[in-house]
Amino acid sequence: MSELAMRAEKLDAADELREKRDAFVLDDVVYLDGNSLGALPAVVPGRVEDVVRRQWGELRIRSWEESGWWAAPERIGDRIAPLIGAAPGQVVVGDSTSVNVFKAVVGAVRMAGEGRDEILVDATTFPTDGYIAESAARMTGRTLRPVTPADVPGALGDRTAAVLLNHVDYRTGRLHDLPALTAAVHAAGAYVVWDLCHSAGALPVGLDEHGVDLAVGCTYKYLNGGPGSPAYLYVRRELQDRFDSPLPGWNSHAEPFGMRGDYEPASGALRGRVGTPDILSMLALEAALEVWDGVPVEAVRAKSLALTDFFLECVAEYVPEGRVECLTPVPHEERGSQIALRCPDAADVMKRLIERGVVGDFRAPDVLRFGFTPLYVGFADVERAARVLARTLA
Ligand SMILES: *Cc1c(COP(=O)(O)O)cnc(C)c1O
């Protein structure tokens, strides 16, 4: 057994999150793609069965009240809230991240008022955010200006209405400075929207603490909600009365069952709702969130950094120098919970890695992405992944 393999065993034995693995359905594959689709929490199948057979099959329409279906978007929002540093009453679950980006960006532009005619968007953003921001700009008569997060402070001014940023870059795994960038946007009198898809469930976000205005994120990556599980929208409490949703559906009406012809928005987080929630996905997500009971986000972050540090160390030891280039920043304060390695034959390498039981993913044109989900990935997994990677690259 190599020195690194022995170290991995010791690190696993000392890991206080180790027992959380038992809360997931896993096999002998090393699964490093939980930043794309989280693994299945063991509690979910039974819950979904109950929701379908009893709540829907037997109680039928009564379940909107008796099974808590109607209030699920706010209730589950409050369950996600502590994971992103939000007090209750500010997060609502529903729709996809793309749709919530639209609500948040248009909402932010409307708050900023007529005088401000520019929207800044992260030039390296996950594509959907950029497409939506472009359409939001066109619809609101603003100009969209793509800038890298590092250039945001210099690009801000009295023309800036809203800024849309990704907390962690989906390709490189770079973590952006949310407190400093939020403060800079506020100093310019503008509103910030953070996309938390690659940070929620992997590291502390601190939305309330840092005064973030609006935030969105998906739940099927680090939060393990299942394929296509609904996303969430955070609107800071002090801004909720001014949040003028561009999608004011009947679910966000002050009197949804009044069936009135005029729209009067509800108060609070539920102003972010639109139409009838997708209950099956939403309640699967609610069950999946139980794995976070008693788990401090700080412990998750500490393990995440230990896992990615150890992976970098194993790669440096096993992979011949110069064979791959690491795109992920080495300083902890600039690193999310994934490692991105670049090599010219990445597509083929990932295909062979998966055949050998190590699942990461490939991002065009030349990036190997490995996501580290601290609740169910261990140090022995990391050592094995690096060893198999080295063999595949040889
Ligand atoms: C995964 C991801 C999305 C996904 O959006 P959907 O609407 O859920 O498909 C959006 N933004 C970022 C930054 C992501 O990482």
Has 198 been labeled as part of a binding site?
yes
Task: Determine whether 369 is an active site residue.
Answer: yes
Cα torsion 293, 296, 297, 298 to 10°: value is -170
Q: Which two tokens stand for residue 81?
A: 């809230």
Pocket of ligand 1 (CB under 6 A): 96-98, 126, 128-129, 166, 170, 195, 197-198, 218, 231
68 CB burial (10 A radius; 0-12, 13-18, 19+): middle
Q: What is the pLDDT of residues 44-72, one digit of tens each?
A: 999 999 999 999 999 999 999 999 999 99
pLDDT band of residue 1 (cuts 50, 70, 90) is confident
Give the pLDDT confidence score for residue 125 in this predicted structure: 96
Structural contact between residues 109 and 142, judged by C-beta atoms closer than 8 angstroms = yes
CATH 3.90.1150.10, the chain: domain bounds = 3-17+296-393
Report how far residue 52's alpha carbon sits from residue 68's, in angstroms, rounded to the nearest whole number. 14
Q: Would the pTM of this model clear 0.95, i.e. be above it?
A: yes
3-17+296-393 has CATH 3.40.50.1970 classification: no
Has 182 been labeled as part of a binding site?
no
48-292 has CATH 3.30.1380.10 classification: no
Has 97 been labeled as part of a binding site?
yes
Report how far residue 305's alpha carbon sits from residue 298's, in angstroms, rounded to the nearest whole number. 11
Mean pLDDT of 372-392: 98
Determine how β-strand 367-371 pairs with β-strand 143-147. unpaired
CATH 3.40.640.10, the chain: domain bounds = 48-292
Taking the centre of ligand 1 as the mean of its atom positions, its distance from the CA of residue 227, in whole angstroms, is 12
Report how far residue 81's alpha carbon sits from residue 93's, in angstroms, rounded to the nearest whole number. 11
Task: Determine whether 303 is an active site residue.
Answer: no
Q: How many percent of the chain have pLDDT more than 70? A: 100
Q: What is the pLDDT of residues 92-140, one digit of tens each?
A: 999 999 999 999 999 999 999 999 999 999 999 999 999 999 999 999 9
Task: Determine whether 221 is an active site residue.
Answer: yes
Mean pLDDT of the chain: 97
Looking at ligand 1, which atom is closest to the CA of residue 96?
A: 7
What phi, psi does 342 have (nearest 5°)?
-105, 135
DSSP, collapsed to helix, strand or coil, labels residue 16 as coil
